[in-house]
Copies of this chain bind each other. A is one copy, B any other.
Amino acid sequence: MKYPEKLLPREKVFRDPVHNYIYVQHQVILDLINTKEFQRLRRVKQLGPASYTFHGAEHSRFTHSLGVYEITRRICDSFVRNYPSKEPGDGLWDDSERLVALCAALLHDIGHGAYSHTFEHIFHTNHEEITQEIITSPKTEVNQVLRKIGKDFPKDVASVINHTYKNPQVVQMISSQCDADRMDYLLRDSYNTGANYGNFDLTRILRVMRPYQGGICFDISGMHAVEDYIISRLQMYMQVYFHPVSRSIEVILSKLLYRAKFLSEKLGNNNILRPHLLMPFFDNDFDIDDYLKLDDGVLNTYFINWLDSDDEILADLADRFINRKPFKSVAYTEETKYLIPELQKLIRDAGYDTDYYTDTNNSFDLPYDAYDPNKKRHATQIELRRKDGSMVELSKVSQLVNAVTGKHLGDERFFFPKEMLSNKEFSKHINNDELR
């Protein structure tokens, strides 16, 4: 048998706490898992600093990626059993697309780095571009494995991930409002944080999911399961992903990296810092090999070194991050926003550099978006298929989903050192966790 279709003599399983088992049936999937680029994902936490708030959230992007693969595999199994294509263009599932779908699922996060969201903000990296590069650059082990399938295969896999692949069914499996990626992370983050809100009926959703000309739709008999998924997702955002303490730790991380970069630019290759593997990024002269050497542990190692820095701000921010000393925060609104400069002045008066010791950010999620012809960019809406074959968009039939459609839910917060709370001038502006 040729490599492309090579099935393992016996399927291999990985014990998984969320899906019970992950089933690997193709040699190429096993080979991808064994690449160094994929193994690196073991050293990058899925939720970054959220484990400072939910201590159980210590799982990595490696386990999540296996989960996305597994859900995609199950979707393919269901599609080929129930909706196999008879002829090209009939809108049913062509199982020769399975391998590109599975590889894209497995690799969709391969470019994620240590504390990605914060890191790329400071160092102008971009995990989506890096994902494309890892898949298509002939230097990587991932690319070498993919090329064995066919010379254009890496490009195809990459195009699924950046939504340009020709078959919308494959694209929507990996990336749409109800895709394998989101479904795995909701279940997995729920499982690990212990916050059960992210649970929904995966088996039922997989049963009602079906291919059609335009991509993927859902049998209307499963409307409640899809609705429940949307609400679960919303609740995980509100309660876990947007938790003020996690956002506060991210603020500290961002300020810490910003300070280090500032010092590096100002002072040059400071001996005390010794951030060997970070230097290419400080010097703004890095390639993909440099990027792939970074992980959470590498960054933390430098932060631990920086605890002994002569620069007080660097040492203090490293301490706040490594030893979990989050900033406090309050919510504010358009009406109360005007108070922030006043608070910043009090913080400055207390001796803090407000560039490093205050920040604002907002966390708004769009839990569900129906098509709006006036909008430039929009996610694929969820289509339900009625018994007679006609389609109806989810928010048209679900009052619950309709209630949250097109709405950005979340809040805006102002972050500051906890120590300020004992300042009466300061704390008088805070009531019920809000500025006033």
Query: Which residues of chain A have a CB within 8 Å of any CB of chain B?
Result: 13-18, 20-21, 34, 36, 39, 42-43, 51, 54-56, 58-60, 62-63, 66, 191-197, 199, 201, 203, 207, 220, 224, 227-228, 231, 234-235, 238-239, 274, 276-277, 293, 295-298, 300-301, 304-305, 319, 322-325, 386-388, 390, 399-400, 402-404, 407, 409, 431-433
Contact = CB atoms under 8 A, between A and B. Distances in A.
Given A203-B20, A298-B301, A324-B34, A234 B15 contact: no
Contacts of A238: 224
Nearest to A59: B58
Contacts of A388: 431-432
B234 A400 contact: yes
A56 B63 contact: yes
A409 B404 contact: no
A55 B38 CA distance: 13
Given A196-B201, A387-B433, A403-B404, 17 more contacts: A16-B56, A16-B194, A17-B191, A21-B207, A34-B325, A36-B319, A39-B322, A39-B324, A43-B300, A55-B62, A58-B60, A197-B224, A199-B199, A231-B400, A277-B305, A399-B404, A400-B403
Contacts of A387: 431-433
A249 to B, nearest CB: 12
Q: Which 7 A-B pairs have the closest CB atoms?
A: A297-B297, A403-B403, A17-B194, A301-B301, A17-B56, A36-B323, A386-B432
A431 B220 CA distance: 13
A55 B14 contact: yes
A139 to B, nearest CB: 15
Nearest to A402: B403
Contacts of A390: 432
Contacts of A17: 56, 191-194
A390 B433 CA distance: 13
Given A43-B300, A238-B224, A404-B400, A20 B305 contact: no
Contacts of A239: 224
A83 to B, nearest CB: 11
Contact of A304 (B51, B194, B298, B305): B298
A28 B235 CA distance: 33
A56 B13 CA distance: 13
A219 to B, nearest CB: 10
B323 A39 contact: yes
A207 B42 CA distance: 27
A344 B276 CA distance: 39
A187 B2 CA distance: 43
A252 to B, nearest CB: 14
Contacts of A224: 197, 235, 238-239
12 contacts: A16-B55, A17-B194, A21-B207, A39-B324, A42-B51, A58-B63, A224-B239, A231-B231, A234-B400, A276-B305, A298-B304, A400-B403
